[in-house]
Structures are given as structure tokens and as C-alpha cells.
Amino acid sequence: MAEGTLKISEVSRRTGLPPATIRAWERRYGLLTPDRTGGGQRLYSDDDVRALLAVNDLVRSGWALAAAAEHVSSGVVAEASPSRVSPSRVSPGRASKAQPSSGTASGGAPRSVERRPRPGRDGATERPTASVAVDVDERADRRVDGGMDTVGLMAAHDAARAMLRASSPVEVVAALVEFVVSLGGTVGPAALHADDVFPVDVSLGEGDPLLPRAEVFSIARLRLEALLPALVEDARGLVALLHAARR
């Protein structure tokens, strides 16, 4: 193992990972074995940096974190290409922080340039290769394989655009209702006991309560469960802004 000379702040800069994450991965998965200074400060090596980059690449490609860490720890480390060691590398989370209020990347476009090895939960996995950042047609993501992802994401995209164009709270609510309906759900008044009702009021206070409904176990239900919460959150914030602007 190479001798440790890098402080955690430098490792954080090189990998784009926050120090707390580096420490957590070290503790949780035994991924790194830093040297310590006399004062107890961790000193990392270039091998440690490569291991962190490899784990991060796998996770962003769809691997579960524990499987990725085990994979890398066992000695199979993808050689990082020069472009990936750039200090200016920005992680997707930072990009999404610029968004207002809820700050989620809801309905964001799927990453198109990364090869996606199958998640390694059972150990029978593809080895990550040096060409991780390669354009491929195949997608191992089970959501896209099921054909659900594109339709749901397009509907969420359309709803978000409609909300952006809204000039009144009522129009925001209309966009939300249209989203539910376009995915195969319905919207109706509050009812006491119905298994297929989502207990969230999409009227956002603009009139009588409106509750979405979708048959249990239907694809409409699965899509709405995945996409509705974040969209409702965005709509809520927008309605509050529109009300405030009118005062």
C-alpha cells in the first residue's frame, strides 16, 4: 500500500466527496486504511483516492453502495481516466442544489453516457472497465427495462413545464391534475375509505379537496407513487410564491 500523504480535505477535493462521506465509507465498509499523523489526523494515499473514485463511479452507475465498496475492496479497481481526476468535477447533487425550494432533481433526464453494470447484490456482476464513461444502448436499469421510466418522466417533465408557465395558483393545480390523469389515474373529492386513494390533496387549498386515485398494483399507481410526492412539493412551493406575488 502506498504511503499516505494526503489530508482528507485534499482527498475530498480530488474525489468530489465530502469528508463526512469519506469517513463514513471508511468506517462502514473498511474501504480505506489511512495512515495517521502523530496528532491522529488521517493521511490518505493515491490508492485510496482511486478506490473512492471507483466506488463513486459504480454507485452513480446504479450499483448499491455496499456492493460497490466490496467490489473495489476485493481488488478490482477501475483505472480512472485522466478526465475524472479533474479537481473541477461537479457532482450531480451540487447541480441540483441550484434549484428552488425542494431542491430535488425530480424528473431529471436519465444520464445518457454512462455504462450501467448490473447492481452487484449477489456478487455475480460485470467487472467495471476502464471505459465506464461510454455511450451504450443497453440499459440494465430495471425501471427503464419495464418501460415505465420514460412515460412517467415525460409526464413529470410536461407537468413541470406547465407549472413554470403558470401565472396563477389555479393553473398550477390544473397541471398537477393533468399529470395524474395523463398517467392513468383519476382525481376526485375526498372519500373516507378507498384503498386506491392517495391521501394527498392536490387542490393545494385552491378549492374543494381533490385526491388522486389509481388502482392498487397498476402501473399508474407505481408511477404516481414514484413521481407524485416531489411534484406536489414543487407545486406547493410555487402556489405559495404566486400568492405572495399577488399581495
- Summarize as ranges the residues that interact with other proteins (CB under 8 A): 16-18, 20-21, 23-25, 27-28, 56, 59, 64-66, 91-94, 96-97, 101-106, 108, 189-193, 198-201, 203-205, 208-209, 211, 225-226, 229-230, 232-233, 236-237, 239-241, 243-244
CA distance 102 to 234: 6
Cβ nearer to other proteins, comparing 3 with 40: 40
Q: How far is the CB of 26 from other proteins (least distance, A)?
A: 10
Q: Closest CB to other proteins among 2 and 111?
A: 111
Give residue 81's region: left, alpha or beta (phi > 0; psi -120 to 50): beta
What minimum distance in Å lies between the beta carbon of 136 and other proteins?
19
Comparison of 95 and 164: residue with beta carbon closer to other proteins: 95
Rounded to a whole number of angstroms, the minimum distance from the CB of residue 200 to other proteins is 5
**Least CB distance from residue 85 to other proteins, whole Å?**
17
Nearer to other proteins, 101 or 129 (CB): 101
Q: Of 164, 57, 55, 49, which Cα lies nearest the Cα of 116?
A: 57
Residue type, 176: L
Nearest-angstrom CA–CA distance, 104 and 109:
13
Rounded to an integer, what is the distance from CA 207 to the centroid of its chain? 33
Using the minimum distance from each CB to other proteins, give the nearer residue, 128 or 169.
169
- Residue 117 CA to residue 124 CA, distance in Å, equals 11
Distance CA 153, CA 192 (A): 30
Least distance from other proteins to the Cβ atom of residue 77, Å: 18
Cell representation of residue 237: 412551493
